[in-house]
Amino acid sequence: MHPWLADQLKRHFGSNDINAIAPDPRWANFLDEICETYEDDEAQRQTIASQLSERNDLLANELKDRLAAQRMLQREKAEQDALIRKLEDAHNQLLQSEKMASIGQLAAGVAHEINNPIGFVSSNLTSLREYVNDLLRVVTAFEQSIEDPTQKAALQKLIKDVDLEFLREDVVSLMSECQDGIGRVRQIVQDLKDFSHVDHGEWVVSDLHKGLESTLNIVSNEIKYKATVEKHFGKIPEIPCIGSQLNQVFMNLLVNAAHAIKEKGIITISSGAQEGWVWVAVADNGSGIAPENLKRIFDPFFTTKPVGKGTGLGLSLSYGIVQKHGGRIEVTSELGKGTQFTVWLPSEQKQTEHGGVDAKAPAVNMA
């Protein structure tokens, strides 16, 4: 008999003996059926309780596994973030190394560009020293003529001998030339400083035309004996970017254009804006790129230049920089006619967590 039923019978009838409570066999059979029903229910409850316990244990294990997996994912994410930072540091170091290598290759030309204005400033200072001496002699003679009127004739002769009228004009001209020369040196040094400084990924709104002019000033000696530069700048907005890195892209394209020209040629720099994008194109009428090399020009360390003429990293790093800015590079080239590189950059872009931008740019187009 089920314990609960036995308790109820004893409570109400003073005994749980069915025969004593109800001698009628039918009543005893009825109570037996009730007892069996209670026992079946109890068995089912125990089965369900066992199943629930097993299910709870399974859910607890699943929760434990999920928490462990979540902790593992968090560790992996932290490791990935650390790896990304290391890769960014390595990439920045590589950019800086390439930048220094480029400056090293251009050093002789830059030194020549600085030496020219320094040379004529030095020459002008020599002439100015002579002019100052002559002017001081005139001043002395003038003072003497004031004290002794008989010295007036000597003063007039001295004025004629030193050509005072010429001195007045030439001193102003020499001073203007010196200021211009020093200004040129200051600008070259400033452009070098801006180009070579270690940037930390500062995104600022910049004028690409100013960056192009600054870069042209640095590579001037590399270009001016090989090509004439034609500028066709369109109206473009200032864009958020890392200016020093884009200047490195422009320098690589300009130097490559100069190297592609064997004799006197033309390098054309164009710019414009179109449907949320700005573009800068650097074209030359040099030797062009062979079709079999065209698809490899952005590969690291690939170069067709002779040893010592390039590192093979310029275009590869340029491609990475443009991609980081959410842009793309298009290349068209024909052997014997020349090459054009066009850099497309979004005029507005949102910086991502790891320093790139979320603008989606098509893949590199090579024709």
Q: What is the pLDDT of residue 281?
A: 96
277 has pLDDT over 80: yes
198 has pLDDT over 60: no
CA pair distance 342, 248, nearest whole angstrom: 15
Burial pattern 319-349, b for ≥16 Cβ within 10 A else e, equals bbbbbbbbbbbbbbbeeeebbbbbbbbbbeb
Q: What is the pLDDT of residue 280?
A: 96
Q: What is the pLDDT of residue 362?
A: 39
Confidence band for 219, pLDDT divided at 50, 70 and 90: confident
> pLDDT: is 48 or 137 the higher one?
48
What does the pLDDT average to over 9-16? 70
193 has pLDDT over 80: no
Confidence band for 291, pLDDT divided at 50, 70 and 90: confident
Structure confidence by residue, pLDDT tens digits, 55-83:
999 999 999 999 999 999 999 998 888 88
User: How many beta carbons lie within 10 A of that of residue 255, not counting itself?
Assistant: 21
Q: Which residue from 328, 324, 345 is spatially nearest to 275, judged by alpha carbons?
A: 345
Q: What is the pLDDT of residue 329?
A: 93
366 has pLDDT over 50: no
What does the pLDDT average to over 204-214? 91
In total, the chain counts a number of residues equal to 367
> pLDDT: is 273 or 128 the higher one?
273
Complete edge-to-edge strand list for the sheet that includes strand 328-334: 227-232, 265-274, 277-284, 338-346, 328-334, 365-366
CA pair distance 64, 71, nearest whole angstrom: 11
Structure confidence by residue, pLDDT tens digits, 130-181:
888 888 888 888 877 777 777 778 878 888 888 888 888 888 888 888 888 8
Percent of the chain with pLDDT over 90: 26
Place of tokens 């164009």: 270
Highest mean pLDDT among 62-76, 180-194, 307-321, 352-366: 62-76
250 has pLDDT over 50: yes
Q: What is the pLDDT of residue 236?
A: 94
Q: Which residue from 255, 314, 296 is spatially nearest to 98, judged by alpha carbons?
A: 314
Q: What is the pLDDT of residue 310?
A: 58
Structural tokens at position 174: 């020499």
